[in-house]
Structure 1
Amino acid sequence: MQFTETLNEGLKRGYEITITAAELESKVNEKLAEAQPEVEMKGFRKGKVPMALLKKQFGPKVLGEAMQEAVDGAMNEHFEKSGDRPAMQPKVEMKGENWKEGDDVQVDMSYEMLPEIPELDLASISLEKLVVKAKDEDVKEALENLAGQAKTFNDRKEGAKAQSGDQVTMDFLGKIDGEAFEGGAAEDFPLELGSGQFIPGFEEKLEGVVVGQEIDVDVPFPDDYQAEHLAGKMATFTCNIKAVKKPGKAKIDDELAKQFGAEDLAGLKTQISERLESEYSGAARAVMKRGLLDELDKMVSFELPPSLVEAEAGQIAHQLWHDDNPDVEGHDHPEIETTDEHKTLAERRVRLGLLLAELGRKNEIDVTDAEMTQAIMAQARQYPGQERQFFEFVQQNAQVQQQMRAPIFEDKVCDYIFELATIAEKETDQDGLKAAVDALDDA
């Protein structure tokens, strides 16, 4: 086997690999000899089929396998000896269109190698960590929002007409062509007008009703209604109005607290305070992480694999195009050109990505199975009722797994650097933190 260098330019490498016919034949004979004891063929006992007959019967298939194994082995040996780590899958092409058995095999292999990453003094990094405490007014605002979500309804004055937003309690019976239909009747049913709980047009026609009134509401079922036997048909609902109530905020007291899983109001305030500070802490970490990445970007400079930069720039341009054209969900759109701005951003991402990957590799930082499972389960909760299907989908899709693993790995490497860096805490308020987070989007 022979290696001949054909390209050595920056990070680009090219080699011509020659596997002699004798080497290939030896590998074929070796594979046939390994298989011979298990081969059965008519007219011969198991394991006694002559090698010449085996070669005639299985030679072409084994030859292809032997050729692939020889090339793979040559590549692995080269990377082990040279220490090169390809940035992307090497490109391998067989030379000679008229190759035939008995000829030497010549293969062209080319790749871009990962650059040498310089050592960094991580302890020299200084960062600022924003600290925000939950203030009484923040907790009060959150409590008022919860009270609004848990609104109550109180009886309107006698004779008052129902308005949008009111709750109407009624008995109703629905009929189509004079015949009652299944699911079209209820007693003491509370309906919030304007909630969209009933079919279109129904709730609007109840605006203005008063307690004790009986009213017939004529409305058509939508053409795409889920119950096909009702879709598109006109129905008449006879409604007896029993109560008309206006909305009001729930009282901020122990009873409200119990609705949200706390023992009492003090406990609910504590929960809110802890939740707010957890949210503040997460936002502050994002700001500090951006500061870290900015510092790392200033500290390093090394040659980047062009293919990685080009691929990243293409992804950035594609994502930004879809952000500007949210109505286009698929990829049936004009070719998207990358700009210098896309390339500059791509260079930063590739540079930082390679740096963090190298730091993780040297310090044996990895994403555990437990961390991946936790991440998958967290995303699966976004698909109620389909958690198992989502979990199985991720398990069977290596690309999706890598997309989920990458941010976890990045965060773990950043945590490692945080432990070594000098971090100064700076107290601020909610507005100051929000301004710092907004600045991340503008950068």
Structure 2
Amino acid sequence: MQVTETLNSGLKRELKVIVPAKDMEARLSERLDTAKDKVNLKGFRPGKVPVQHLRRVYGKSLMAEVVNEILSDTQKLLTDRGEKPAMQPEIAMTEDEKEAEKVLSGGADFEFTMSYEVIPPIELKPFSDIKITRQIHDVPDEDVEEQVKRVADSARTYEVKKGKAADGDKVKIDYLGKIDGEAFAGGAAEDSEVVIGLNQFIAGFEEQLVGLKAGDETTIKVTFPDEYAAEHLAGKEAEFDIKVKEVSKPNELEINDETAKMLGLESAEKLREIVRGQLENQFGQVTRQKAKRQILDALDEAYKFEAPERLVEAEFNNIWEQVTRDLERAGHTFEDEDTTEEEAREEYQRLAERRVRLGLLLSEIGEKAGVQVSDEEMQRGLIESIRRYPAHQQQEIYEFYRQNPQALANVRAPLFEEKVIDHLLGEISVTDKKVSRDELMADDEDDAGEKPAKAEKAAPKKKAAPKKAAAKKKEEGE
């Protein structure tokens, strides 16, 4: 095999590979010798088929296998050169049928070219120079009590009352939703229970139930949010025909062991313990995310190197697809977001370059530190990924992951990244600073813009999660 480098510019490489016809013939002969003891052909005893007859019958197909074997073994070429390709190399061969026929017939050298980009060498610096301030929020008892009341509210009992519905009352209704006079899917229900003031339904729906009493029938009007998960309803005005069947007032709610037992817990103390743990976990995630962002910003500032063009292009395309899809779903244009398509492209191009550089850097840091993702961690990550799908699809999704190495790599990547961040937190200088809830959560709304809105059923069910305009999303260092 003859390998000639025909391009070496920046990170771009191109190799011309020639496998002489005699080498191709030698590989084919090995396959023919192996095949003659296994193949069964009419008119010949097993193991007695002449090699020349095998060549006439199977020669081209076996030579095609030789070609594929050579192409699949190109990674060894790069390993021998001490290079790591950023992506799978692009292979180019002759498209001339006559030339290809000669190769398969053993009458010509097999030639192809490999084009690829290499991962740039990254020289790691001491991490002790990186300094961050980690914000920490200690959850006060009053916040725990407030959340306990919200949780326990699901165990609150109600008593049927006469008279008009007020804020906090539970109203049992039948409803039928219409847009332009036509009923829409998911917009009807019977004996639906609405607690006025919980804001479980789209804005304006619950408020219009105030003052109604059992037996009343009315029509209320609402407008679906522009970001509503059901795209066919987003931004639409709708009318709901309402029939009130029952109005109930809430009984006094006491936080005691009996209330806790109604929630499946043994005591009020256990309820408070669980709620505190949930709040601490929630704020802890924000603390970590902000610390991670500071680390990534510091790494981005400290390491400036050329990023492989194809990786950046692939990352940009992923970002741009999400941005344009979000804009389309919201019915917005770039002008609505106070920008232009050209400016947005420039912004997301920079974001793609940053993400690729940080990704390569974290990979290098993790590799040098010996960071590993265990099989147990992979299994937990896989289960967590599968749980995001409906129950009836989970087995199918599991099989997809099991049979698709690239999909599994996508499960491993964020697990590996978080473990690298853990490693860095032990290497850098971290100063903890206690802050209030508002200080910790400041700017967190922008970060939520990276997350897709939670899918909801057709109204008047709960509102879709708010989402920042696509063109203003902030990078989270994925």
Of 325, 347, 351, the residue aligned with 1:341 is 347
Q: Which has the larger radius of gyration?
A: 1
Pairs within 5 Å for 1:388-407: 388-407=395-414
Pairs within 5 Å for 1:188-207: 192=193
Q: Deviations over 1:373-400 (max 9, x none)?
A: 2123224344464343443343244443
Pairs within 5 Å for 1:90-109: 90-95=89-94, 97=96, 98-99=98-99, 100=102, 101=105, 102-109=107-114
| Residues 47 and 442 of structure 1, relative CA distance in 2, 3 Å threshold | closer
The answer to whether residue 125 in structure 2 is matched with residue 120 in structure 1 is yes
The normalised TM-score by structure 2 is 0.71
2:80 corresponds to which residue? 81
| Residues 339 and 395 of structure 1, relative CA distance in 2, 3 Å threshold | same
1:425 corresponds to which residue? 432
Listed as ranges, the gaps of 5+ residues in structure 2 are: 173-189, 201-208, 218-242, 332-340, 448-472
Of 258, 265, 273, the residue aligned with 2:276 is 273
| 4+ runs deviating over 6 angstroms | 193-196
Q: Does the 8 Å contact 1:150/1:249 carry over to 2? A: no
For 1:21 and 1:357, locate their aligned partners in 2 and report how far apart those are by CA, in whole Å: 41
For 2:327 and 2:254, locate their aligned partners in 1 and report how far apart those are by CA, in whole Å: 44
1:259 corresponds to which residue? 262
Q: Deviations over 1:313-368 (max 9, x none)?
A: 2221221222222268xxxxxxx877221111111101000011112223332322
The answer to whether residue 319 in structure 2 is matched with residue 312 in structure 1 is no
Of 138, 144, 156, the residue aligned with 2:143 is 138
Of 339, 348, 353, the residue aligned with 2:359 is 353
1:161 corresponds to which residue? 163
For 1:435 and 1:255, locate their aligned partners in 2 and report how far apart those are by CA, in whole Å: 38
The normalised TM-score by structure 1 is 0.77
For 2:431 and 2:446, locate their aligned partners in 1 and report how far apart those are by CA, in whole Å: 20
For 1:302 and 1:397, locate their aligned partners in 2 and report how far apart those are by CA, in whole Å: 32
For 1:163 and 1:437, locate their aligned partners in 2 and report how far apart those are by CA, in whole Å: 37
For 2:37 and 2:49, locate their aligned partners in 1 and report how far apart those are by CA, in whole Å: 9
Cα displacement (A) at 1:194 = 7.6
Give the number of aligned pairs: 383
Cα displacement (A) at 1:12 = 0.6
Cα displacement (A) at 1:29 = 0.7
3-state SS, counterpart of residue 128 of structure 1: strand
Q: Does the 8 Å contact 2:84/2:118 carry over to 1? A: yes
Q: Does the 8 Å contact 1:123/1:421 carry over to 2? A: yes
| Residues 125 and 208 of structure 1, relative CA distance in 2, 3 Å threshold | closer
For 2:403 and 2:64, locate their aligned partners in 1 and report how far apart those are by CA, in whole Å: 29
Q: Deviations over 1:206-234 (max 9, x none)?
A: x644xxxxx899xxxxxxxxxxxxxxxxx
RMSD: 3.4
Q: Residue type matched to 2:361 in 1?
A: L
Q: Does the 8 Å contact 2:152/2:263 carry over to 1? A: no
Pairs within 5 Å for 1:241-256: 245-248=248-251, 250-256=253-259
Q: Residue type matched to 2:371 in 1?
A: I
3-state SS, counterpart of residue 426 of structure 2: helix
For 1:281 and 1:246, locate their aligned partners in 2 and report how far apart those are by CA, in whole Å: 38
1:174 corresponds to which residue? none
| Residues 190 and 81 of structure 1, relative CA distance in 2, 3 Å threshold | closer
1:365 corresponds to which residue? 371
The answer to whether residue 294 in structure 2 is matched with residue 291 in structure 1 is yes
For 2:280 and 2:364, locate their aligned partners in 1 and report how far apart those are by CA, in whole Å: 33
Q: Residue type matched to 1:354 in 2?
A: L
3-state SS, counterpart of residue 290 of structure 2: helix
2:54 corresponds to which residue? 54
Of 358, 375, 383, the residue aligned with 1:377 is 383
Q: Does the 8 Å contact 2:315/2:356 carry over to 1? A: yes
Cα displacement (A) at 1:285 = 0.4
2:236 corresponds to which residue? none
